[in-house]
Structure 1
Amino acid sequence: MKIAIGADEAGFTLKESIKDFLLERQSDVTDFGLMDGSQMIDYPDVGFAVAEEIAKGKFERGILICGTGIGMTITADKVPGIRAALCHDTYSAERAVRSNNAQVLTMGARVIGPELAKHVVRAWLDATFDQGNSARKVQKIMDGERRHQAAGGYQPEINSCSTTQD
């Protein structure tokens, strides 16, 4: 599996640990992050670089790490076609793929330790996307994304309920 990985300086050490773990699993890993823990880079620069390459089909999946994982998640999810999931437990990591077909896993180096992070990555990599209802829902996400881009805003398929106060 071709995997892109990247981190800002806050996630550098965890990224290196996860990269070693991936190489032990004989994954094809390309590092988009810092090569030296003393350097600095803004997480959006790394997050966009990884997510865009996945959206182009150059990588099957990506892992992004910053201090909390939140900034990387928000950044990657801005790239059309990308579904990034912030996971710090194995159940969420598995469901991110099985239910949402998430191609990007994000984690916070200040939130999760390296051993648990390896278990989370393993659960995410070993999971496969369930078809059935999950496929229908993910398709709705992708269709909504396309409508949003084309119309300049989200256009729901059904009328939403509204409440008025008198």
Structure 2
Amino acid sequence: MKISLGADSYGFDLKQAVKQYLINKGIEIEDVGINEQEAETPYYQIASEVAQRVGSQQADRGILVCGTGMGMAIIANKHPSVYAAVCENTNAAEKSRSINNSNVLTLGGFITSPEVAVEIVDTWLTTEFTSGWEPPIQEWLENSIKDIAILENEQFGSIESQSGNS
């Protein structure tokens, strides 16, 4: 699994803690920045970069950290094939994967301690889409993803034509 990781200055310290945790787990990381706590790269540039990598399948998933996680999620969700979720606890992380099949996790440096962030990340990484749901609900969730892809295609157009693969 390859994870694209990014933060603004408000999420830098938490990103570094998450990054170290992922490295210790042997997960391939692509850190798009910021790389210095003082860097002034706007959150929306970092979020857009990670979202583009996840949406184009250059990375399997993404993790973004800003002050609240909300700004990063708003920007990331403007990209095709990106399903970003703000998670402040493990229950939200589990549901974001099992119900919504999120592929980008956003965290808040103002809100979440490094210890809690690691628990959230671990839950998010180990929860599979539809896990824990009865077969009828699993089927409904799988069909909903197909319906969402149709809506996304209507909104954004064909992903293949955008990447030059048509």
TM-score after normalising by structure 2: 0.87
| Structure 1 counterpart SS, 2:105 | strand
Give the C-alpha shift of residue 136 in structure 1.
1.2
Is residue 2:134 matched to residue 1:134? no
Q: What are the Cα deviations for residues 38-83 of structure 1, in whole angstroms up to 9, with x where unaligned?
A: 1111011000100101111111100000001110000000001110
What residue is the counterpart of 1:93 in the other structure? Answer: 93
What residue is the counterpart of 2:15 in the other structure? Answer: 15
The counterpart of 2:154, out of the listed 147, 154, 161, is 147
Give the C-alpha shift of residue 109 in structure 1.
0.6
Structure whose alpha-carbon radius of gyration is higher? 1
- Distance in structure 1 (CA, Å) of the matches to 2:37 and 2:43: 14
Give the C-alpha shift of residue 21 in structure 1.
0.4
TM-score after normalising by structure 1: 0.87
The residue type equivalent to 1:81 in the other structure is S
Unaligned 5+ residue runs, structure 1?
151-166
What residue is the counterpart of 1:30 in the other structure? Answer: 30
Give the C-alpha shift of residue 148 in structure 1.
2.5
- Between the aligned residues of both structures, percent identity stands at 35
| Structure 1 counterpart SS, 2:71 | helix
- Distance in structure 1 (CA, Å) of the matches to 2:150 and 2:121: 28
Between Structure 1 and Structure 2, how many residues are aligned? 150
Give the C-alpha shift of residue 149 in structure 1.
3.3
Post-superposition, which runs of at least 4 consecutive aligned residues in structure 1 deviate over 2 A?
Answer: none
- Distance in structure 2 (CA, Å) of the matches to 1:2 and 1:29: 6
Range moving further from structure 2, 138-147 or 111-120: 138-147
- Distance in structure 1 (CA, Å) of the matches to 2:57 and 2:85: 18
| Structure 2 counterpart SS, 1:64 | strand
